Every structure is written in structure tokens, then in C-alpha cells.
Chains A and B, each alone.
Chain A
């Protein structure tokens, strides 16, 4: 017993030297080239934007408690939902998983010391901050009221708000995305450790590879679109406004040519997180590795070909509509393949109910509904009734919040002990995951019904007969808010007072679990040589003895 206790304390020791205590000056953080420290910088700044976007979301739901626009005048409400959209899409959803978790984990998962271009990685963060600052200026100076979609000619000719300041912020921020994507692509191609073949890569890396392709190829288009917007708004060059000889539908094509693929920038990294969680917490290989990996690539490629499904009601040609509808239906198949493979992975596994797995479970349920309701909107005749209503709002929140945010939270809880070396409260994390799940459904499920009833989006006031459903939605939002604030509290607490996690708290095979927690600045003391497949729990993994030892250590507790 005594001996074991000593051993126990031994493995629980924090490493003496790690990336967090390697320099404590402000400069050592702001000028760092360490991908892990940059990930922490992103974690802080992205969380700040998430909080701000969440405050705007709360204001929206507060206003919609009553049918009249009484809390806010319409002109204020229009700014609030626009700010909510811009901040959440461009400054939270797009960078959240890639820039925080991807940045931290991709080099470690492939056995590299850092990303291929550490300085460019730091530059990406600074660009993100400058872009964010421009956007914050636009919000504080008076705000923007165009909706995050910036549809013309309202945005170029009619709105007298700070459209271009926000636009420039998004333009600048785009370069952060492009550089991050480029960095990931080059890193995955050139920095893999010996033995880390493409088909041994964790699926988290595959999904980030697909995401990076979309970031690099898609983001320049939104940059071009914003430049054209500026040219028309300031230069009065007729591009989109028919009064100047332009075409407003052209803007929609350009905007969605980026913004639909951007939806996949927002969800693909989440798929990667869920693949990790499902396989690791079932303690077995993922079912159909190659199918899951290539479905990410297929989604990235097809994602570029479906933008026109946002425009079925815009008066575009019926033939164009048919092609876009067909391709939209096709892209449902790789998403279905993922869900079925995740489910099959659970079969005959050894499933533990740790908090990250709980998030993965909720993710699958919500993403399923989010994905299936996408089919409603892809079916042209039905989309005409549903487009621009709350059905669309509900659908994309099921995908973006139910999907990406839950995956992000699951990933954050999964890698938190690796990132900070400490463990959070199992009790509070499980409670808050359940609060998020309940609050989320109560918020967004009634919006499907509201949408079918015909309640349009972006309405400060709505018909009285729709109030009951809106009250449900607002009530759910307050529960959801509690579920999202709780992690901020107990994770911050764990940062300082949490139990020491140990290098491999769950005895998992990934490379990130084969270095100390928190990892040293150079990630590995010795470059690892990989001889096992992804999610290898068998003989090859060398986990057997560690598992035995841990069982022995923890046995007294369980008796």
C-alpha cells in the first residue's frame, strides 16, 4: 500500500519544466513562437469574442420575449443581431477549434516540435487581433445593421452604419484564416514523425487538413467580395447596386461562394474532435477509418459546389437551382457516413461516460437533427416556404451550436488536462454538459415550428400568436447561458486548484498522451517513432502495462 501510494504521487507530479512556465514575462507570451502558447493566446481572445457574441444573443432572446419591439427599437435590434452574427461566425466559430485546439494539437499529434511556420503562426494571431479590433471599433462607434450577410444594395447604398469598418475587420481576419490553413497544410505534409504515415494520422488531423483546404481556397473570395463592396460604397462604382448599373444577385453568388464552404470550415474540425472522442472513449479503432477520413475531403470538395442553395427564392434560373439542390443532397451522404461510422465504433467498445464523451453523445443527437433539417432546406419546393424564416435559424444553430460548439466544449474538456496539467471537476462538468443540452434544445427546437408557421428572420416584432413558442425559446436561452457560463467558472478554478492530471489520465494511445502534461516547449524529449495505427489499444500500443498499473493503483478507491 505504502509503496503504491508513493508511486501514485510520483505519476501525479507536474513536470518541472513545461511550455507554460518556460518564461513568464509579457514578451515571452506576446512574442512566442510556440504553437501551444499561441493556442492559449487564441483561447483567451476567442473566448472573449464568444462572451461578447453570447451577450448579443441574450439581448436578442430578451427582445423576442414579447411580440412588440419594446426592449429595443428596431434600429437597435437590427444592430444586435448583426453583431451577434458577425462576431460568432467570423471571430468565434471559424477560429475556435482550428486556432485553439488545432494549433495546440496538430504538431503534437503528428510528432512534430512545432508548426511548419512558427512566426507566421504568431502573425496569424496578430492579424486576428487587428481584424477583431476593427470590427469592435465598428460595433462601438455605432454598429452595423446589414445582417452578417451584407446583402446589397442595402449594404452599399442604403445603410448609414459602419458597414465598411466591420467589412475591413472581416477582410483582415480572413488572412489569419488563410495563413493558419496554409500552416496546417504544410505542417501535415512535411513535419510528420518517422512512421506517422497518412493513414496513421488521427482523424482530428484529417479533418483539419480538409478544413485548411477550404480556408486557403475559399477565404480569398470573401476578401475580393468585400473589396468590391468597398469600391461600390465609397467609389460609387456600379457592381451590385442596379441604380449604378450593378447586379445585387451577383453579390449573393460571391458571398455564398465563400460563406457556404465557410459553414464547413465551422463544422469539419468538430467532426475531427468527435472522431477522437468516440474512438478513444470506446477504447478501440474507429470503424471505417478511411471512409471517415475521405468523407471529410469529400465534404470539403462538394462544399464548394452547393452555394446556390441559399438562393432558391432569389429568382435564379430553375436549372441552376436543380443542380444546386442535387449537389446539396449528395453532400448529405458523406455526413451520413460519418454518423453511421461513429455509431458503429461504439459497438462492442468499452465505453466510459467521461465528460468529453458526454459531449460527443449530445453532439451526435443534435448534429443528426441539424443535418436532417438541412435536407428540408435543400428540397427546393419546401425551401421556398422555409427560406428566410426561423426554420433556417433553428437548422444552422443545430449545426453550429449543437454541432461545432458542443464539439469544441467536448474537445476542450478532453484536452484540458493535457493543455494545463490539471483536471476539472467531473461533477460540475457533467452537470453543465446536461444543462447545455437541455437549454439548447429548448431554445432552438421551438424555432423549427415558428419557421414552419412563417415567422421571418431578423424581425424585431412578430405576430402575437407566436409568443408562446418564443417564450420557450427565450427560456431555453437562459438555461443555455448558465450551461455555458459554468465551464468558464470551474475550468478557471481547475486551472489553479484542479487535481494534477498526470500525463495520460485516461490511458489513451495518441501521441499527445505520450508526452508530459503540460507538454515541454519542444513537445517531445525525443522525436517519437510511430509503429502503430491511430486508436491502437492493442499490443502495439504499449498501454497494457500502464492500464494494469493504474487499475492496481485505483483499486482501493473502488472497493
Chain B
């Protein structure tokens, strides 16, 4: 952004070159066809300008060969664009199996970020360079959209559900973030900065900030004390009147009525807010709704806790090996030597 008039945002993620590549391809197509057609029009305007008024020039009715040609060629070109766009979209929305997971809650008019290590930020996000970062997002009120132009990605943030996006920053620096979906009065003030840091600087930043409880610890606290989930699901989540939650996350669940659903974020959320909607096979519909009693932040913490006990003993099956949903019990709060974030706290919070 040094030039007087900026033309391109910084390229600061692994997506940037893909999106810019497709962009330049389309710019080339646009320039080519504009020059071709406008050139032809201007040439015809000059060459075939009226020499004498009210005459009838020679007539050409049309040509099927030409019509077919200029239908098929554009069709082939737009199909290449379609494929290019589809491939990039797939890369954007296929979540990495291993990533540093940050929870995001939008509200009028701020972004709240929570790191897996417990640090909370508002309108600022610090992340390490060269690390895959996954954002799991929801909102307390209206639609928002978290936009990272330097990373060439964004996603709507929708009340009542979780959306996700991911990126891997490639260049340390300070880049703008915006809310891109109109959200009311101070919509244009709902932005901030993402700070991409070298791993060492990021570690310093982490240790220099009060971390408080991690999301999983906060969730455990809610589970055992404040919301008293433990009275039915047992203190260690091993189940009682309610189904066992240990080893649940990411696994299929059989519901009363024979249907099977996957125990993902949406399922956990729905089971807390609207428990009568999906009753697990073999259990009574006795759970009260927690709608109105639990905030979006708390829901995120509860989900983090349930995720953290997903890989523990008592898991109904061992098929799930994705680290994002099955953290290592001995994971420390730090990052390993590859600079890859690892899911923290799973074991320690639940010995």
C-alpha cells in the first residue's frame, strides 16, 4: 500500500496467489473481448458510416455457423472460469484436518476472538505465520461477515449456527479485517486488524497476555458448576440419566427413531438449546432447554470442553483420528517445533 493509488491488496496467505491468478485470467479475458468487440464496433462505425441519407445498404440475414461459433467459444471459456472458481472455492471451504482453532463471536459492532490457549481479543487477532488457522464463528445478534482481504477469504457469520473459514498466513504484517455484511448502524466501524507474527514473536505475545481460562477449561467449569450439566451427564461426562459425552465429538449418534446424525458443533449447540429436537436412542426426553440461559460465548466454551474429552477413554469407537477433534491428552499449552498449533488442555483439564 505504498503507492499513491493502491491497486492490489497485500498477498498474505496461501490463497492469495490462487485468487489473484484467477483474477488476472479474468481481467485478460475482459480486456481481450472488450478490445475485440469495441474495436469492431468502432471500426464498423467509421467504415460503414452513412454516406448518403436514407439509403438501403446491402442486406445480410445472419449466419448459423457464426451463431454456433460465438455460442460455443464463450461457453468453453466460461467453463474454464467455472472450474477455476470451483477449485479455489473447494480449497477455501475444505477445512484442514489440523489447525489452530480460534473461536469468533460477532456482535453489533465488534469481533470477539478467543484463542485455544485462553487469550481473548476484541477487533484484533494475533496469529503466527505459516500456521493453518481455523476460525469457528457465530454471532449474538444479526448477520455479520468476517473479511480478510489480504488473505482473500471471508465468510458470513450467521446467528444460530456455526460457519468456519481457514487460512495460512504467509507474510508477517498488520492487515485490515472488516465486517462485510451490513449489520446496522456502526457497520463500517466493525473492523480491526489481524497481526501476523513470526512464531517466536507470537509465543512472546501469548506469554505476555493474561490467558485466563482456556475455552475448554471455561466449558468444564460451566459444565460442572454453573450450568450443572454434570448432574445428569456425570462430572467426567461419562453419562448417567443423560448420554455419555466422553468420546462423543465427531462420532455418529443414533437418535430415537433410528436416524443417525454426526455429533458436530451444530449438533451440540442444538442439543443444548433445543434438547427435545434430537433425543439420543435409549434416553428419556427429560433435558430442559438452556435457551436464554447460555450466551454464545458460553456455548463456544461448552463445545470446546466436549471436544476436549472426545479422545478420552470410554469413547464408543476409535475411528476418529483427526487431531482437530481428538486432541492429544498430553498436549501442552505451547506449540511444537514445527510451529503447528496443537489442541491444548484436553487431558489436564480432565484427569
Task: Please list the residues of chain A having a beta carbon within 8 angstroms of any beta carbon in chain B.
Answer: 69, 74-75, 78, 145-147, 149, 151, 153-154, 157-159, 241-243, 247-249, 282-285, 287-291, 312-315, 318, 321-322, 325-326, 329-330, 332-333, 336-337, 339-341, 343-344, 346-353, 361, 364-365, 368-369, 372-373, 375-376, 378-385, 387-389, 449, 452-454, 456-463, 465-466, 468-469, 507, 537-538, 543-544, 546-548, 550-551, 554
Contact = CB atoms under 8 A, between A and B. Distances in A.
B187 A458 contact: yes
A375 B27 CA distance: 10
Given A333-B71, A453-B9, A537 B178 contact: no
Interface in B155-185: 155-156, 158-161, 163, 176, 178-185
Given A154-B143, A325-B86, A379-B88, 15 more contacts: A74-B186, A78-B184, A332-B74, A340-B66, A346-B48, A352-B49, A353-B49, A364-B41, A380-B85, A384-B92, A452-B8, A454-B178, A456-B188, A538-B56, A550-B53
A333 B68 CA distance: 11
A248 B57 contact: no
B84 A379 contact: yes
Contact of B18 (A291, A336, A381): A381
29 contacts: A78-B182, A147-B182, A151-B182, A154-B142, A158-B142, A248-B159, A284-B60, A285-B61, A321-B89, A329-B78, A341-B62, A341-B67, A348-B48, A352-B50, A373-B30, A375-B29, A376-B23, A379-B88, A381-B18, A381-B89, A381-B91, A384-B88, A454-B147, A458-B187, A462-B188, A468-B4, A469-B5, A547-B53, A551-B52
A150 B303 CA distance: 32
A458 B182 contact: yes
Contacts of B158: 242, 248-249, 314-315
B226 interface: no
B67 A348 contact: no
Interface string B83-122: 0111111111100000000000000100000000000000
A158 B44 CA distance: 56
B182 A385 contact: no
Contact of A158 (B22, B89, B184): B184
A492 to B, nearest CB: 29
B149 A454 contact: yes
Contacts of B257: none
Contacts of A153: 141-143, 159
Given A291-B62, A315-B163, A379 B154 contact: no
Given A346-B48, A468-B5, A551-B54, A381 B85 contact: yes
A159 B182 CA distance: 12
A558 to B, nearest CB: 9
Interface string B178-209: 11111111111100000000000000000000
Contacts of B62: 287-291, 341, 344
Contacts of B18: 381
A537 B29 contact: no
Contact of B189 (A339, A380, A461): A461
B91 to A, nearest CB: 7
**10 A-B pairs with least C-beta separation:** A381-B88, A242-B160, A454-B149, A379-B85, A547-B54, A380-B89, A459-B188, A346-B44, A329-B78, A288-B62
Nearest to B1: A465
B19 interface: yes
Interface string B1-40: 1001111110000000011001100100110011001101
Nearest to B49: A351
Interface of B: 1, 4-9, 18-19, 22-23, 26, 29-30, 33-34, 37-38, 40-41, 44-45, 48-63, 66-67, 70-71, 74-75, 78-79, 81-82, 84-93, 108, 141-143, 145, 147, 149-150, 152-156, 158-161, 163, 176, 178-189
Nearest to B61: A285
A243 B117 CA distance: 30
Residue of A336, A339, A373, A381 with highest tally of chain B CB at under 10 A? A381
B37 A368 contact: yes
B59 A387 contact: no
A263 B244 CA distance: 52
A554 B52 CA distance: 11
A372 B30 contact: yes
A383 B154 contact: no
A351 B45 contact: yes
Contacts of A452: 7-9, 23
A158 B140 CA distance: 12
B54 A365 contact: no
Contact of A351 (B8, B50, B75): B50
A332 B78 contact: yes
Nearest to A451: B149
Given A283-B55, A368-B38, A461 B188 contact: yes
A340 B73 CA distance: 12
A350 B155 contact: no
Contacts of B54: 283, 507, 543, 546-548, 550-551
Contacts of B48: 282, 346-351
Contacts of A352: 49-50, 53
Nearest to A468: B5
Contacts of B51: 350
B71 A337 contact: yes
Nearest to B27: A376
B82 A329 contact: yes
Nearest to A315: B163
Contacts of B85: 325, 378-383
Nearest to A278: B41
Given A351-B48, A383-B85, A454 B176 contact: yes
Contacts of B5: 449, 468-469
A478 to B, nearest CB: 20
Contacts of B23: 376, 382, 452
B50 A78 contact: no
A159 B183 CA distance: 10
A190 B248 CA distance: 67
A354 to B, nearest CB: 9
A257 B97 CA distance: 35
A456 B48 CA distance: 45
Contacts of B163: 315
B53 A456 contact: no
A388 B89 CA distance: 16
A347 B60 contact: yes
Contacts of B89: 312, 318, 321, 325, 380-381, 384
Residue of B8, B59, B90 with highest tally of chain A CB at under 10 A? B59
A125 B7 CA distance: 47
Contacts of B188: 69, 74, 456, 458-462
A75 B186 CA distance: 8
Contact of A385 (B4, B87, B153): B153
B88 to A, nearest CB: 2
Contacts of B88: 379-382, 384
B158 to A, nearest CB: 6
A445 to B, nearest CB: 12
Contacts of A243: 159-160
B7 A346 contact: no
B159 A242 contact: yes
Given A248-B160, A343-B41, A378-B85, A283 B57 contact: yes
A396 to B, nearest CB: 16
Contacts of B44: 343, 346-347, 349, 351
